[in-house]
Structure 1
Amino acid sequence: MTMLVVLAVLAVLAAFWAVGIYNGLVTARNAFKNAFAQIDVQLTRRYDLIPNLVEVAKAYLKHERETLEAVTRARAAAVSGLAAAKAAPGDAAAMSQLGSAETGLAGALSRLMMVAESYPDLKANQNMMQLTEELTSTENRIAFARQAYNDSVMAYNNKREVFPSNIVAGMFNFAPAALLEIDEPAKRGAPKVAF
């Protein structure tokens, strides 16, 4: 009889242990999804600023149509990448698609800003100065949100992979989450927005 009681107590303790690990994994997964939602907010803000920037620049950059079209195409690709990532935050393919699209958009914006440097009237335009300031501020917010997301993903993946959590994670199919990797400004050249 005492053996049955001991086994019942051990079974209850094991159940509480598994529930605790499961809840910790769910909490960590929800944390990185919430962190991605913050990236979504900032990227959407940036995508909303870009058409205004292009419109202001159009009047001055009549001979730079290719540059403006490249920015528009890169923005469309980034919006598509964000939609895919929103559908599956942490999914490796979606994060890779978003990271590539963001790298392309940053390059196109950088080219636009370099071209804009050649047009003193555009640099002095009040709307252009305000938009570039907002874009710079948004870029900083994106960097902070991306760091928070990547930290949350690392915490989730660590929790998912360490023993004994990996046993529960395997039983309940907790998939690994992917980082959002975008070329660093030093590598890709940050958009110059000084006017």
Structure 2
Amino acid sequence: MSEKNSNSSFKIVAVIAVIAIIAGLFYKFTVGTYNKIVDLDENVSSAWSQVENQYQRRLDLIPNLVNSVKGYAKHEEELFTSIAEARSKAGGIVNIDSSIVDDPQKFAEYQKIQGELSAGLQRLMAVSENYPELKANQNFLALQDELAGTENRIATERKRFNDAAKAYNTCIRKFPESLVAERKGFEKKAYFEAEAAASKAPVVQF
């Protein structure tokens, strides 16, 4: 083999080796980035399930809480009806899967309905101030205390969800991770927004 042919063969092998190295690095980057995004996506889903659990916990408390108040404030029927309607709405969507976080419109509707329920409970707590005997009822006090704890857990889990969603959203927007995210169809997650005054957690006083 002539020296010229030998050099040509060496160059071909070198080019193939470089291409193989680049391809290997690209594959490693793609797989590693994809797995990273999947992990962050799973964190969002896990955080969402905890938010749902706490909203469900609150949903389960409402019938007993309302019945306790009814025993002392029978003429507050309009309030009881509004809470029942808000609970019915919330009950219709509280167990939806985590795909809602990929749809800003559905997510906003979910938050709105939960906010309406919070506002109703806030009014219920305010009504209890007018009935000293109700405020002294041990069963009501226990339910009130449990509701307060649940509202605190809801706030905590919402923050954890927002933190997980922020980490995910930041990752898929950064270059070069954005290349993999776009190619694989990873979408931005919705956040819980700060609630209006009417939708804040019920104020529980003892």
TM-score, length-normalised on structure 1?
A: 0.93
Secondary structure at 2:118 match in 1: helix
Spell out structure 1 runs of 4+ moving beyond 6 A. Answer: none
Q: CA deviation at 1:9?
A: 1.1
Which residue of the partner structure matches residue 116 of structure 1? 128
How far the C-alpha of 1:87 sits from its partner, in A, is: 4.8
1:192: how far off? Answer: 2.5
Aligned partner of 2:22 in structure 1 is 10
Q: 1:55 corresponds to which residue?
A: 67
Helix, strand or coil at the partner of 1:83: coil
What letter matches 2:17 in structure 1? Answer: V
Over the aligned positions, Cα root-mean-square deviation in angstroms equals 1.5
Say which SS state the counterpart of residue 186 (structure 2) adopts: coil
| Higher CA-based Rg | 2
Q: Offset of 1:82 from its aligned partner?
A: 2.2
- AA of the residue aligned to 1:19: V
- Matched to 1:27, the amino acid is D
Give distance in 1, aligned partners of 2:34 and 2:200: 43
Distance 1:189 1:40, change over 3 A: closer
Q: Which one of the candidate residues 105, 127, 131 is aligned to 2:143?
A: 131
1:174 is aligned to 2:174: no
Matched with 2:87 is: 75
> 5 Å matches for 1:79-90?
79-84=91-96, 86-90=97-101
Counterpart residue number, 2:170: 158
Aligned-residue identity in percent = 38
State TM-score, norm by structure 2.
0.89
What is aligned with 2:45?
A: 33
The answer on 1:143 being equivalent to 2:155 is yes
Which residue identity is paired with 1:83? N
Q: Give the conservation status (yes or no) of the 8 Å contact 2:33–2:177.
A: yes
Cα displacement string for residues 21-73 of structure 1 (whole angstroms, at most 9, x for unaligned residues): 10011011000100011111111111101111011111111100111111111
Give yes or no for contact 2:45–2:98 (8 Å, CA) kept in 1. no
Distance 1:124 1:71 in 2: 23
Give structure 1 stretches of 5+ with no counterpart.
none
Distance 1:94 1:27 in 2: 24
Task: Give the whole-Å Cα distance in 1 for the aligned partners of 2:58 and 2:161.
Answer: 18
Give the Cα separation in 2 of the matches to 1:174 and 1:189: 32
Amino acid in structure 2 at the alignment position of 1:82: V
Q: Quick check: 2:49–2:98 contact (8 Å CA) kept in 1?
A: no
- Corresponding position: 1:192 with 2:189: no
Query: 1:139-159: CA deviations, max 9, x gaps?
Result: 001101000000000000000
